[in-house]
Amino acid sequence: MTIRFKKLFFLLTFNISLFLLLMIGIQNSTNSKKVNFIMFETISLPIGFIAGVSFISGSLTSSLLNINFDNKE
């Protein structure tokens, strides 16, 4: 297996496991809010779910960005 495939596999399994833990932990939450977008709004979702999904999506997005700061001169 190449290093990129290992990294992608690890990132996906880590973020999916975080999402599953979020789904298990959020089942008894009673506080819910709506998220207002420009043209529409979402259904009532628990606040922890909104914060958790934004954290997981940010983690996944930032992990997939491969920024190389090495200046080879």
* Cβ–Cβ under 8 Å, residues 45 and 34: yes
Confirm if 50 and 37 have CB atoms less than 8 A apart.
no
pLDDT of residue 72: 59
Which tens digit of pLDDT belongs to each residue from 43-71?
888 888 888 999 999 988 888 786 665 65
Tokens, residue 70: 């090495």
Q: Taking Cα atoms as reference points, which of 25, 18, 24 lies closest to residue 63?
A: 18
3-state helix, strand, coil in the chain (%, to 5): 55, 10, 35
Name the pTM for this structure: 0.71
Mean pLDDT rounded to a whole number for the chain: 83
Q: Report the share of the chain in percent with pLDDT over 70.
A: 88
3 state DSSP class of 34: coil
Reported confidence tier of residue 17, pLDDT bands at 50, 70, 90: very high
